Amino acid sequence: MADSLIFQPVAGLSALLDTRRISSVELVQAFAARTTAIDGRVKAFNSRDEAGALALAAASDARRAAGQARGPLDGIPVGFKDVIAVEGQPLTCSSKILANFISPYDATVTAKLKAAGAIPWGRLNMDEFAMGSSTENSAFGPTANPWDLTRVPGGSSGGAAAAVAAGETPLALGSDTGGSIRQPAAFCGIVGLKPTYGLVSRYGLAAFASSLDQIGTFAHTVEDVSLLLGAIAGHDEHDSTSFQAEIPDYRAELPKRKGPWRLGVPREFFGAGLDPEIGAAVQKAIAFYRRTGCEIKEVSLPLSAEYAIAVYYLIATAEASSNLARYDGIRYGHRSTAAADAIDIYAKSRAEGFGEEVKRRIILGTHVLSSGYYDAYYLRAQKVRTLIRGEFLRVFQDCDALLSPTTPTAAFKLGEKSADPLAMYLSDIYTIGVNLAGLPGLSLPCGFTSGGLPIGLQVIGQPFREADLLAVARAYEQAHDWHTQHPVLS
Ligand code: GLN
């Protein structure tokens, strides 16, 4: 299939649909053919529903022919990280414990996308229950980075990022608890947005760490990410943490917000551990903003730099141990056939169903919440979390957005960090504070290493000011062509 179609931003695809130069059926066929040709090597998908997608595409074509198209997403395929519910499709969380589970209902984001005419066409690989940074913790095997098949795509939404980067789907939804959208977007050379906590409903997102989890978007361009965000954002009575906010038309706002902006650069995010090639690419991006009239201010986030990872691994594991208690072998999911009684069913089903990293976190989280340790670990972590949020909000008193690298290194080799959980945890050092503070953050391509691997620029915004965050990112994107470069996988 012509690259011009599979790598085309959605804005272009929907123009082709509107002018009848292609049909939605042809579009789905194009992405399906691409996926059939390359996914044996990339392994981004856990499962696909081609027949269902074609039926929805035919319905979309009929709407368009009748002059009833529902807008720019009508007839466009969207991939779903395998942690977001789509009625009648598998929902595995890349775990053996849910290997045969079919979702009986739609997540709120799914219902909204269906109402917009978008086509949920496949389930994308991830680290089991979104715990990881490389997609190697999947019960179904790892996904490869389309830029270099010997490297990881990042994680935990690695399948989603790889599928968009490789031209297998124009859009994807992921989830970000500590960096799981931004880090894989950076590793795969695409745009990934984690919205403000509360902007997008979590109803129908299998919970990992509920106070940190947020559904977000992957696409080739900032405009496409804006379009997809506009379709999924908004209050939902099914999610008690969903915020009552006015939802602007993010895409229409883009050209209206021109800057110049006051941009903060956190000093601590450029220290030891940052790969010099990444540092140089991000400095060049900062220089671009300065050149175009933005005020660049050095700022300091000492608490986030020093404590965010530790605080995150206390809070996230505590919440995970509680959330994952529901997988007991009784209500749904895998049930051990070797069990003698009820207690044995719980123990054996969980022992057989969960992978190593998930077990490690359940054990740590249970310990953190146990009486005697709760105050010393969990409560203390919550207090430091509040301080970290305060630190960000203070910096935002005189900055519109912050700029930093998304990751300390480019994509690492498959297997390189899988034996060392602590080394793996460090790959989220620049992204995790954003989740603790509940802020929106975006990664967009800002160059390549000498070895040809994508580099990500992180832009961090003020709570619920996604429209500004997206405009800041787009100003850079419009002046560069990194997003037009795609991996060669023939
Ligand atoms: N890599 C982090 C973790 O392993 C973040 C994961 C995520 O954002 N879901 O927990």
316 lines ligand 1 (CB under 6 A): yes
Average pLDDT of the chain? 96
User: Does residue 401 sit in helix, strand or coil?
Assistant: strand
Tell me if 286 sits within 8 A of 403, measured CB to CB. yes
174 lines ligand 1 (CB under 6 A): no
450 is catalytic: no
74 lines ligand 1 (CB under 6 A): no
Q: State the Cα–Cα distance between residues 217 and 228, nearest whole angstrom.
A: 7
> Tell me, what's the pLDDT at 395?
98
Q: State the Cα–Cα distance between residues 42 and 468, nearest whole angstrom.
A: 34
User: Does residue 191 sit in helix, strand or coil?
Assistant: strand
Looking at the predicted structure, is the pLDDT value of residue 140 above 70? yes
215 lines ligand 1 (CB under 6 A): no
Active-site choice (180, 201, 226, 418): 180
Q: Tell me the CA–centroid distance for residue 183 and ligand 1, in Å.
A: 9
Q: Tell me the CA–centroid distance for residue 306 and ligand 1, in Å.
A: 18
Q: How far is CA 122 from the centre of its chain?
A: 16
Ligand 1 atom nearest the C-alpha of 361 is 10
Mutational test site, ligand 1, from 126, 131, 173, max ligand atoms within 8 Å of CB: 131
pLDDT-based confidence at residue 218 (cuts at 50, 70, 90):
very high
How do residues 344-379 score in pLDDT, each as one tens digit? 999 999 999 999 999 999 999 999 999 889 999 999
Q: Tell me the CA–centroid distance for residue 179 and ligand 1, in Å.
A: 6
Q: State the Cα–Cα distance between residues 232 and 107, nearest whole angstrom.
A: 10
213 lines ligand 1 (CB under 6 A): no
Looking at the predicted structure, is the pLDDT value of residue 101 above 90? yes
Looking at the predicted structure, is the pLDDT value of residue 193 above 60? yes
Q: What is the mean pLDDT of residues 422-427?
A: 85
143 lines ligand 1 (CB under 6 A): no
177 lines ligand 1 (CB under 6 A): yes
> Tell me, what's the pLDDT at 2?
59
Q: What are phi and psi of 447, to 5 degrees?
A: 140, -175
pLDDT-based confidence at residue 1 (cuts at 50, 70, 90):
very low
> Tell me, what's the pLDDT at 332?
84
Q: What is the mean pLDDT of residues 141-163?
A: 98
Q: Tell me the CA–centroid distance for residue 295 and ligand 1, in Å.
A: 33
Ligand 1 atom nearest the C-alpha of 130 is 9
pLDDT-based confidence at residue 424 (cuts at 50, 70, 90):
confident
Spatial CA neighbour of 191 closest among 476, 450, 442: 442
% the chain with pLDDT above 90: 95
> Tell me, what's the pLDDT at 266?
98
60 is catalytic: no
Ligand 1 atom nearest the C-alpha of 313 is 10
User: Does residue 420 sit in helix, strand or coil?
Assistant: coil
> Tell me, what's the pLDDT at 284?
98
428 lines ligand 1 (CB under 6 A): yes
Distances (CA, A) of 371 to 142, 315, 325: 37, 15, 18
pLDDT-based confidence at residue 3 (cuts at 50, 70, 90):
low
Q: What is the mean pLDDT of residues 233-255?
A: 95
Q: Tell me the CA–centroid distance for residue 51 and ligand 1, in Å.
A: 33
Q: Tell me the CA–centroid distance for residue 228 and ligand 1, in Å.
A: 22
Looking at the predicted structure, is the pLDDT value of residue 421 above 90? no
Where does 292-377 have alpha helices with state H? 302-323, 342-353, 356-369
DSSP string across 27-78:
HHHHHHHHHHHHHHHH--EEEE-HHHHHHHHHHHHHHHHTT---STTTT-EE
Q: What is the mean pLDDT of residues 467-471?
A: 98
Tell me if 184 sits within 8 A of 161, measured CB to CB. yes
How do residues 432-449 score in pLDDT, each as one tens digit? 999 999 999 999 999 999
81 is catalytic: yes
Q: What is the mean pLDDT of residues 461-468?
A: 98
Tell me if 156 sits within 8 A of 180, measured CB to CB. yes
% the chain with pLDDT above 70: 99
Active-site choice (14, 24, 81, 96): 81
Q: Tell me the CA–centroid distance for residue 423 and ligand 1, in Å.
A: 13
Q: What is the mean pLDDT of residues 396-417?
A: 97
> Tell me, what's the pLDDT at 257?
96
Where does 130-198 have alpha helices with state H? 158-165, 182-188
Positive or negative, the CA dihedral 51, 55, 61, 65 is positive
